[in-house]
Structure 1
Amino acid sequence: MRHPIDPKIDCVFKALLGSEENRNLLIHFLNAILGPDLQDPVTQVQILNPYNERQFLTDKLSIVDIKAHDDRARRFQIEIQLLTYAALLGRVLYTWNDLYNHQLGSGEDYGKLKPAYSIWILGEDLLPGDAYYTHRYRLRDERGQCLLNHGGIYLLELNKFADEQVTTEEQRWLKFFKEGEHLDVDRLPVWMQTPEMRQAMNTLTAFSEKELAYDVYQARQDFLRQQRAIERERRSTQQAFEEQKAALAQKEAVLAEKDAVLAEKDAALAEKDVVLAEKDAVLAEKDAALAQERAARELERQGKKAALAEIERLKALMKGDNPPAGS
C-alpha cells in the first residue's frame, strides 16, 4: 500500500539529498540553487553525514542537516526547517560561521579558506515583510561590491513560492518540496518529467512501501507534530502574555493619565494657596499699618489731653486758685 510522503519531513529530506545513492540529486540541487553564484558548477560531492534510517528510528536527536564538500573543497550545508522562531536568524548565521570556520586546522593559513554555502528551506515565513521567496546573502557593501567571494546564506521560503509555471531547476525543486506529498508516481505532471524528479519520487515511494522506512517516517512525523503543537501552544501562551502585558500597560497609562490630572489639580490648588497666602500677607500688612496708625492717634490723643490738663492748671495758678489735687 502506498502512503503519501511529505518530502519536507526531515528523514525523507535527508534521504533525498543526503544519501549516497542519491548523490547525483544533491549535485543537481546545489547547482539549481547556487548556480548563478558558482564560478564552476558542482560535479562531485562527498557527503559528510550520510543518511541512516536506523539511526533516525532509534535516535530522535539525529542530526538532520546535510553537510558536504566538493572536489574544489567548497563546503555546503542544507537544512529543512518547518517551524520558525525568534532566534532562528541567529542560528542561521551561527551555523554558516561554523561551516566556514571549521575549515582550518591548527597552524593552517587563511589562504586555504574556501567558499561555504548554507541553504535553508523554510516551511514557515521567516521574513514576513518581504514578498520574495528567495533571499541570497553575500559579503557585499552598500554598492554591491563583493568583499570576498566565499559563499553565503540562502533562505528559501516555501509559503511564498506560488509559481504555477516552472521555468528553472530551482523552481522545480521548490515546487517538488511544496507539493510532493500530493503527487502520484504513476501520474506525474509535466514539470516532474525529468530524470532527477523521477528519482526523487522513487525515494518517496520507497518510504511509502518499505516497512522500516515508513516506520521512520511515521516516527519523525509524529515527533514533528508534537513539536508543532508545542510551538503553537508556546506562541498562544506568548500571545496571551503579550495581550495581558499590553492591557496592563494600557491600565497603567490610564492611571498615569489620572495621576497627571490629579497632579495638575494639586498644582492649581497649590497655586491658589499661594495667591491666598499673598492676599493674607497683604491684609496682614494692612492690619499692621492700621494698628500702627491707631497707636499713633492714641498717643496723639493722650498728648493733647495732657496738654489741655496743663493749660487748665496754669490757668488756675494765674487766678490764684489752688491747683487741682495731684498737680
Structure 2
Amino acid sequence: MRSTLLKRIPLERLMDLKIDYAFKQLFGNEKNKNITIVFLNAILQRTGRDRIKDISFSNTESSAEYVDDKQSRLDLLVVTDADERINVEIQFTNKHHMIKRSIYYWSKVYQSPLKKGMAYSELQPSIAINILNFDLLDQTERFHTSYHLYEDEEKFKLTNVMEFHFIEMSKLIRDWKQDKLNPWNDVLARWLLMLGMVDRRNGKVYDDIFKELEEIAMKDETLRTAFQNWEHLSSSEDEYFAYEARLKHIFDEEAAQREAELRVQEEKQNEKEETARRLLASGADIKTIIVATELEKERVIEIKRKMQLP
C-alpha cells in the first residue's frame, strides 16, 4: 500500500514504535529533537507544566539492567531547557512491577545531578512517562493518567518535583474504535495513535488510523516529518535488522516466561493429584478431596477410577 505520505514502503513495513528500540531511534535522535519536543509537550500540557523549548539527550545505555541484555535499558532520558529531567519508558510486555519500577527509576533520575557540595534545593523536577502496551490500572478506563504527591485530606500538592504519567495503549486503541478520540483537536491523541498504528503483537496495521493521520499530517508539519523519518528508519536494512532482533528477543522472553508459568501450573496440578491419590487411598470421600485439593469433581472421579478403587 502506498500513499502521498509514505513514498517508499508499504504500511506493513513500518516498525512498531512500541518496541523500545524503534521508539528510541525515532524520538531519541538529535536530528529529530523537534519531534520529541512536540511529543513531550503534548503529554505534559495535561498537567499544566511550562512548554519545553529545547532538550538535550542523556545516555542511558551505560546502565544496562541485565548483563546479558544490553538492550534492556533503552529509555529516553532528556534534560529540558528548564533543567527538568524527563525519563520515558516504553514497555511492550507486562513483565515488570511497573509502578514500583517507575518510582525506582524516577528516584535514580531525581538524585543523579546531586554532586558533593550541592544543596537539596538545587535538585530540579523529574518526570517519569511510562508508555505501556498493556492494561495496568483497573481503577480507570482513561488511557492517560498522571500523579503527584498530595496531602491526604485537603488534597494540596506537596511538591512539583515528582510527576508520573502512565499511558496505556490498549485503552487508547479501545477509545479509537469507540469513536471517543478526535486527533484533529487533540495533539496527544494523534501522536499516540501514531505509536499504536502498527501492532506487531497481533500482526495488524490500522489503515483507518493511518488515513486520518495522513490527512492531519498535511497540515501538521511536525507530524509529517515524524512519518517521513519513521519511513526512513524502517527503510534502513541495518536498522530494521536490529529492530527485528530486538523484537525476537522480546517474544523469546515472553515465550520463556509463559513456559515457566505452565511448568509451575503443571507441578501444582501434579501435587494436587498426588494429594488426591493419598486421600483416596486412605478412604476419604470425593467431596472432602475436592475441598482439600480444589480439583474438579470429574478429575477426582477419574483418578479414583484409574486407581481401581470401589
TM-score, normalization: structure 2?
Answer: 0.71
Deviation at 1:196, TM superposition (A): 2.2
Aligned ranges 1:105-116 → 2 under 5 Å: 105-116=115-126
Which of 149, 154, 160 does residue 171 from structure 2 map onto? 160
Deviates more, 1:158-167 or 1:98-107: 158-167
Matched residue of 1:139: which SS?
A: strand
Which of 15, 18, 33 does residue 28 from structure 2 map onto? 18
Amino-acid identity (%)? 26
Whether contact under 8 Å (1:82, 1:124) holds in the other structure is yes
Larger radius of gyration: 1
Distance 1:16 1:104, change over 3 A: same
The yes-or-no answer on 1:219 pairing with 2:253 is no
Distance 1:238 1:158, change over 3 A: farther
- After superposition, the C-alpha distances for 1:76-106 in whole angstroms (9 at most, x for unaligned) are 1001101113523221110011111212111
Q: For 1:32 and 1:133, how far apart are their aligned partners in 2?
A: 14
Aligned to 2:70: 61
- After superposition, the C-alpha distances for 1:163-190 in whole angstroms (9 at most, x for unaligned) are 3322311111211111146367996543
Aligned ranges 1:128-147 → 2 under 5 Å: 128-142=138-152, 143-147=154-158
Distance 1:244 1:134, change over 3 A: farther
Give the letter for the 2:25 counterpart. Answer: A
Q: For 1:141 and 1:215, how far apart are their aligned partners in 2?
A: 50
Whether contact under 8 Å (1:206, 1:213) holds in the other structure is no
In structure 1, runs of 5+ residues without a counterpart are: 52-58, 259-327
Deviation at 1:241, TM superposition (A): 5.7
Which of 218, 224, 235 does residue 198 from structure 1 map onto? 224
Aligned to 2:303: none
The number of residue pairs the alignment matches comes to 251
Q: For 1:148 and 1:245, how far apart are their aligned partners in 2?
A: 52
Q: For 1:152 and 1:186, how far apart are their aligned partners in 2?
A: 32
Name whichever structure is richer in helix by fraction: 1
Name whichever structure is richer in strand by fraction: 2
Aligned to 2:130: 120
Whether contact under 8 Å (2:18, 2:90) holds in the other structure is yes
Aligned to 2:104: 94
Aligned to 1:177: 195
Distance 1:6 1:256, change over 3 A: closer
Q: For 1:21 and 1:81, how far apart are their aligned partners in 2?
A: 24
Q: For 1:155 and 1:245, how far apart are their aligned partners in 2?
A: 40
Distance 1:218 1:85, change over 3 A: closer
Deviates more, 1:134-143 or 1:191-200: 191-200
Distance 1:236 1:155, change over 3 A: farther
Aligned ranges 1:193-272 → 2 under 5 Å: 193=218, 194-240=220-266, 254=288
